[in-house]
Amino acid sequence: MKSMTIARVIENIRIADRIYRAELHAPDIVCRCQPGQFINVYFPESIRIFPRPFSIAGVINDCIVLIYKVIGPQTTLMSRWRADDTVTILGPLGNGFTYNNSDYKPILLAGGVGVAPLMFLRDRIAEKGIEPLL
């Protein structure tokens, strides 16, 4: 079940050229997140009328982790988020990935910021004692 909430920015750090990692405190959403799902981030109407989707790269305690690349006005605004800022989000959205426990070692392949949802999947697979090939 999706829900809209006001998330608090825990941290937002630059990890590479124009690539950021944000942690958003959103316990009401975190408890339902699955690998492959996403959230919608809402911006002031002066920047964008409609929300923008971002893949969930993982969950840490009560926080959603996002990995994003600064390429336009919305992500430029996100890059300026500071600890304790608030942001409106909706989620989790989407069906997520399916993975069955089999005798085969899973292979996870992605590039750029497309790797974000696979990071979450890798973590969940590793929780089952299986180390995927990256």
Is the model's pTM score more than 0.75? yes
Q: Is residue 134 part of a domain?
A: no
Q: What is the CATH number of the domain that holds 88?
A: 2.40.30.10
Q: What is the pLDDT of residue 133?
A: 79
Domain membership flag for residue 132? no
Query: How many distinct structural domains can be found in the chain?
Result: 1
Q: Which single residue is written with the structure tokens 């089999």?
A: 102
Predicted local confidence at residue 4, as pLDDT:
94
Structure tokens belonging to residue 46: 């002066």
- Scanning the chain, the segments in alpha helix (DSSP H) are 27-30, 73-79, 116-127
Token pair in block for residue 62 = 């009560």
133 inside domain? no
Q: Is residue 118 part of a domain?
A: yes
**30 lies in some domain:** yes
The pLDDT averaged over each successive group of 10 residues in the chain (134 residues) is: 93 98 98 96 86 97 97 96 98 90 80 87 88 81
CA distance 84 to 25: 9
Q: What is the DSSP letter of 63?
A: E
Q: Which amino acid is at 21?
A: R
Look up residue 117 and give its two tokens: 């949802």
Note down the domain range covering 109: 3-127
pLDDT score at 129: 85
